[in-house]
Amino acid sequence: MAKAAMLSLPVQPAPASFAAIFDADTRAAIASGLCIQCRGAKLLCGKARCPILVRWDSMMKTAPMIDRIDMDGSSPPGVFVGRFGYPKVYVGPLVPPVHGDTQILDSPEEWIGHPMEDIVHFRSQLVRGMHRVHVQDVDGGGRIVDQTRELALGTSPADVEVGFARKPHGRVVLDDNVQPFGPSAPLSRFDLGTLKVDRNLDRAFSDTDLRAKEAVIDLYERRTPVSKIQRAFSV
């Protein structure tokens, strides 16, 4: 039932400022005239589906469910760690506006066999809560960072409640090197419910004498998904 709910979200009318949802590179591609010639039908970019239309469709399906500053849902579990503004970067939870089994939304290993539309839709549902911290003072990031770290060690979806400083919004970003991502907003509150922690990840995280290389090899040999190892290392 949870998957059906995630794949049949209501549609919101297009915003007044269409260009505002695209990043600079995408706007440049549109301005070059190639997209106008193609109109999503000729596929002049060489892709099987127009990435702009796929991303736009996913955003419009998710938009009505995140049009507020308070939100709750089941995190896959997933966390976000940004890179812009380094050494002060944004971190926080990934939260979809739905409850249930949302694990596939942030599990690349489970995307094999799914079409591009499904993968974009999975990612577009994850709202990024953003809390800025200095990379050399992560321990001073407060309760939000502490709970984000705890979430990164999770092994199954966890109920999360978040409060934003403003309503989440997003842009269409086309990048061959980055996973599609959903809307974002600065966090004002982050409450984490009951979480089932991965014992192997928790043991490696708590062992201050264990070297990172040894931890990665051990976790991999214990069949811990690579995406979970990466997530735990990120925060």
pLDDT digits (tens, 9 = 90+) for 23-76: 666 666 666 666 667 766 667 666 777 777 776 676 777 777 788 899 999 999
Residues 6 or more apart whose Cβ sits within 8 Å of residue 166 = 69, 185, 186
CA dist 219 and 222 (Å) reads 5
pLDDT at 19 over 70: no
What angle (nearest 5°) sits at the alpha carbon of residue 68, between those of residues 169 and 120?
40
Hey, how many other C-beta atoms are within 10 angstroms of the C-beta on 23?
Answer: 12
Specify the amino acid at residue 27: R
pLDDT at 10 over 60: no
Q: In the chain, what percentage of residues exceed pLDDT 70?
A: 75
pTM, whole model, 2 decimals? 0.73
Q: What is the pLDDT of residues 72-93, one digit of tens each?
A: 999 999 998 888 888 999 999 9
Q: Where are the beta strands (DSSP E) in the chain?
A: 70-75, 79-81, 88-95, 127-134, 158-164, 184-192
Q: What is the pLDDT of residues 96-125, one digit of tens each?
A: 999 999 999 999 999 988 887 788 888 888
Burial 105-137 (b: 16+ CB within 10 A, else e): bbeeeebeeeeeeebbbbbbbbbbbbbebeeee
Kindly report the average pLDDT of the chain as a whole number. Answer: 81
